[in-house]
Amino acid sequence: MPNASKAINRPASEWENAAFIIAGVFSAAFGLKAFLLSSHFIDGGVTGISMLLAAALKLPLAAFILAINLPFVALGYKQMGRRFALRSALGIGGLALVLAFVPFPDVTPDLLLTSVFGGVFIGAGIGLAMRGGAVLDGTEIAALLVSRHLVLLKVSDIILILNLLIFGAAVFVLGTEPALYSMLTYFAAARVMEFVLNGIEQYTGVTIVSEASEAIRLAITEGLGRGVTVYQGKSGFGRRGDQLHERDIIFTVVTRLELPQLRAEVQRLDPQAFIVQYGIDDAQGGIIKKRPLH
């Protein structure tokens, strides 16, 4: 599962974790009851399976949330640890209780608003719970367990296949239009969950190979206030022939808001610089938080 802490050196207390999980439970329940259920839309993952079965069998959703999610939490106990399993069990149990006993108003009859904002609240709820060290949906635990036996498939591949099957089944159970709106709900939930976990300061790792490495290093450390790691390498083979010359290679971590400024500075100093960037799931230590410039 994605790590709940983002560039936080002090671990959260259990009270903070509990606050995140409780907020996540109510947000997810609000998205489900105030938006999706009245319009017969579903989400993806294990929650989507629960909603699909509840709609097909005309049984309470809360029962399926417990019956389908908790076994995956129990099976993931060894991989995730006792605290994670306990928090997740309490979070899923809390979600089922809120769905069963807490009334929420039906916010809007508009189908587009229902699908989008239902996904927003569900994604926010799942993300908040994950920041508290728990899950409200056992999808990634299930995918992790399956991937251990199907070595050719990654966790992300299994999640994709699972969701394709869920939305394919939704076409037959709910109809084509509700299934399409449900896909929109899932996409909205996934994006909001990512934003809650990563925040506006989502980090990007950048590797820069350039002949102007020293000038670029100074631009990053003095201009952006970010730390860098410099390691030695050799230029390889290219259109300009063999160039086995030693080079200083720069690695740094910046937020996505700082990335355009970094790229512009590198291009200004060396238009031929080779830049590779990639997302980072988590980062701690070093100069992660931007230091004040003097």
pLDDT of 208-250, one tens digit each?
988 888 898 888 888 878 888 888 877 666 565 556 677 788 8
Res. 1: pLDDT tops 50 = no
Instruction: Write the CA distances from 7 to 177, 253, 278, integer angstroms.
Output: 41, 11, 17
Written as six digits, the tokens of 109 are 């009859």
Is residue 185 very low, low, confident or very high in pLDDT (cuts 50, 70, 90)?
A: very high
Res. 119: pLDDT tops 90 = yes
Res. 4: pLDDT tops 50 = no
Helix axes 14-31, 111-131, angle to 10 degrees: 170
**Among 40, 63, 62, 69, which residue's Cα sits nearest to residue 52?**
40
Is residue 5 very low, low, confident or very high in pLDDT (cuts 50, 70, 90)?
A: very low
Mean pLDDT, the chain, as a whole number? 82
- Cβ–Cβ under 8 Å, residues 1 and 133: no
Q: CATH 3.30.70.120: which residues of the chain?
A: 203-279
Domain spanning 203-279, CATH architecture: 2-Layer Sandwich (3.30)
24: phi then psi, degrees, rounded to nearest 5: -65, -40
- Cβ–Cβ under 8 Å, residues 193 and 126: yes
pLDDT of 58-117, one tens digit each?
899 999 999 998 888 887 777 777 888 888 899 999 999 999 999 999 999 999 999 999
pLDDT of residue 3: 39
Instruction: Give the three-state DSSP class for 258.
Output: coil
- Cβ–Cβ under 8 Å, residues 53 and 66: no
